[in-house]
A = this chain, B = another copy of it.
Amino acid sequence: MDRRTSAPSTGEALLFLTDEQLRQGIEAMFFAYRGFTADPDRILADMAYGRAHHRAIHFIGRAPSTTVNNLLNILGVTKQSLNRVLRTLITDGLVESRVGRMDKRERHLTLTQAGRTLEQTLSDAQRARMRAAYREAGPEAVAGFRTVLEAMMDTEMRNSYTRLKDTAS
């Protein structure tokens, strides 16, 4: 292997990473993400929905009764962009929007039964691919996979990610 170590200033091992190694990682992310989204995209193509709808449905299903603002932070888009998506989902009866009890400005978003059904269909497809990849790679690889991905996130995204992970029970 072309990995060399030298006297580290801290306690950590000092990793020398060639541009070539990094570029392979970059390309791996590019090609893998295409596969990652391919299955839900195929399903959504037949409906009037796209990837943005999938994301909204996923995170509403994940954290029911979440507010619009919370969803905005997770998705990292403008409220105008999210609103367009939410409006279609609400009028199509996939998402329910309830005025908050405490703070009546807030809207709490929950999947309807139809929304849960679609969410299930989409995530079944995505999980199937993820499961196959995990099985093929093995548990140690999966742990490494998760570790690198977490290190690659921006701080705020890592916070969102961790918060979701911890509220999972």
Residues of A in contact with B (beta carbons under 8 Å apart): 1, 3, 5, 8, 12-13, 15, 17, 19-36, 38, 55, 58, 62, 76, 123, 126-127, 129-154, 157-158, 160-161, 164-165, 168-169
Contact = CB atoms under 8 A, between A and B. Distances in A.
B3 A34 contact: no
Nearest to A6: B131
Q: How many copies of this protein are present in the complex?
A: 2
Contact of A123 (B1, B26, B129, B131): B26
A15 to B, nearest CB: 5
B55 A25 contact: no
Given A135-B8, A152-B32, A153-B35, A145 B25 contact: yes
